[in-house]
């Protein structure tokens, strides 16, 4: 493994290896601590947008594995503005052993990987959020003991989080459904592309009506209606998205033991109600914690040998 840029760069066997390693590292962490396999290694963390989970889970993950992490805020680097993306990649490669970046344009992740001589990790772009998806399938696997054969439904915006989740689900053999308002669909080309990666006969289906999408689903997932960088569209989106709120009425159509996930941060009262976020179906906080355990597996694969 050279970089961690997108879920579709990995086969089912690769993802299963990462999940297995995440499970082992999580067990080791709670049984006295991880071995310091990344001693002397530093992860540069470049952020063009705010973060709680990504920043803290990578920082703590590096510390637990004996390494260190360096936070670079949006104000400091000016990726592609103060300095070209290629030059940032070259310079950081001389100081640090890996680069994690959260960017606006996915193209910038690809450029970092092209010009860095160290591994690059995508910490969210406008196109994808593969670290989130890896933690999501780890969380699903912990509850159900498997991912294959389950039905995972995403309700809301056809965004970066939905795209990576779809890819991880179908590669691991889970059926993926998505319900979006008209105008906010996942591109047909993305759905088609995901179908090419499906294993075990996993299907991908898109809906406008959220109720049939949620019917008997094992996992329900939502995310904010307005992603970072789309703030100017907030008022417009608030008019369109309310029928897609994950509330008790919608959850009642899913399987009795459905698991509710949300990548967080949540806008409670918008895409998810308190009742659902804090209710018996919610796995939001184990899911958030799993960001750290899943990413330790990525860091281990990229840096430990
Ligand atoms: N889910 C997620 O990536 O959270 P942050 O934006 O807080 O990192
Ligand atoms: N779709 C959201 C996810 C935040 C973790 C965004 O891009 O802002």
Write down the domain spans for the chain: 7-129+291-303, 132-287
Residue 124 has pLDDT above 80, yes or no: yes
Strands 42-47 and 68-72, sheet pairing: parallel
Tell me what the mean pLDDT of segment 183-187 comes to: 98
**Considering only CA atoms, which residue is closest to atom 6 of ligand 2?**
227
The SS3 of residue 262 is: strand
Is 134 near ligand 1, meaning CB less than 6 Å away?
Answer: no
- Whole-model pTM: value is 0.98
**Considering only CA atoms, which residue is closest to atom 1 of ligand 1?**
263
Residue 13 has pLDDT above 90, yes or no: yes
Average pLDDT, the chain: 98
Beta strands in the chain (DSSP E): 42-47, 68-72, 98-102, 120-122, 151-155, 175-179, 204-207, 219-222, 259-262
Tell me what the mean pLDDT of segment 264-285 comes to: 98
Query: Quick check: is 14 catalytic?
Result: no
- Residues whose CB falls within 8 Å of the CB of residue 93, separated by 6 or more in sequence, listed in order: 99, 116, 117, 118
CATH architecture, domain defined by 7-129+291-303: 3-Layer(aba) Sandwich (3.40)
Tell me what the mean pLDDT of segment 259-268 comes to: 98
Ligand 1: which of 291, 292, 294, 295 to mutate, most ligand atoms within 8 Å of CB? 291
Query: Quick check: is 129 catalytic?
Result: yes
Query: Quick check: is 6 catalytic?
Result: no
- What pLDDT, on the 0 to 100 scale, is given for residue 134? 99
pLDDT digit string, tens, across residues 197-256: 999 999 999 999 999 999 999 999 999 999 999 999 999 999 999 999 999 999 999 999
Domains 7-129+291-303 and 132-287 share a fold: yes
- What pLDDT, on the 0 to 100 scale, is given for residue 305? 75
Tell me what the mean pLDDT of segment 267-271 comes to: 98
Above pLDDT 70, what percent of the chain?
100
Residue 68 has pLDDT above 90, yes or no: yes
Residue 36 has pLDDT above 90, yes or no: yes
Is 206 near ligand 2, meaning CB less than 6 Å away?
Answer: no
Is 52 near ligand 1, meaning CB less than 6 Å away?
Answer: yes
The CATH number of domain 132-287, selected from 3.20.20.240, 3.40.50.1370, 3.30.420.40, 3.20.20.150: 3.40.50.1370
Ligand 1 atom with least separation from CA of 129:
3
Residue 298 CA to ligand 1 center (angstroms) comes to: 17
Residue 5 CA to ligand 2 center (angstroms) comes to: 16
Is 48 near ligand 2, meaning CB less than 6 Å away?
Answer: no
């Amino acid at each position: 493994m050279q970089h961690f840029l997108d879920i579709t760069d990995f086969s089912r066997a690769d993802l299963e290896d990462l999940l297995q390693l995440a499970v082992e590292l999580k067990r080791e962490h709670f049984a006295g601590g991880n071995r310091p396999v990344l001693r002397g290694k530093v992860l540069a963390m470049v952020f063009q947008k705010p973060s709680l989970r990504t920043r803290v889970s990578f920082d703590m993950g590096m510390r637990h594995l004996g390494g260190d992490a360096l936070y670079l805020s949006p104000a400091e680097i000016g990726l592609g503005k103060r300095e070209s993306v290629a030059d940032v990649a070259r310079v950081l490669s001389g100081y640090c052993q890996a680069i994690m970046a959260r960017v606006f344009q996915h193209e910038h992740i690809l450029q970092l990987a092209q010009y860095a001589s160290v591994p690059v990790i995508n910490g969210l772009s406008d196109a994808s959020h593969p670290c989130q998806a890896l933690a999501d399938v780890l969380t699903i696997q912990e509850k159900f003991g498997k991912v294959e054969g389950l039905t995972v439904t995403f309700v809301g915006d056809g965004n970066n989080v939905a795209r990576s989740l779809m890819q991880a689900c179908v590669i691991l053999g889970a059926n993926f459904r998505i319900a979006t308002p008209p105008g906010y669909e996942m591109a047909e080309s993305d759905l088609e592309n995901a179908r090419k990666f499906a294993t075990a006969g996993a299907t991908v289906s898109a809906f406008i009506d959220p109720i049939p999408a949620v019917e008997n689903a094992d996992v329900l997932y939502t995310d904010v209606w307005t992603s970072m960088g789309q703030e100017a569209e907030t008022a417009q989106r608030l008019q369109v998205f309310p029928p897609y709120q994950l509330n008790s009425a919608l959850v009642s159509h899913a399987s009795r033991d459905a698991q509710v996930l949300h990548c967080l941060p949540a806008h409670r009262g918008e895409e998810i109600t308190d009742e659902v976020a804090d209710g018996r179906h919610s796995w939001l906080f184990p899911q958030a914690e799993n960001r750290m355990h899943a990413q330790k597996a990525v860091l281990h694969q990229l840096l430990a040998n």
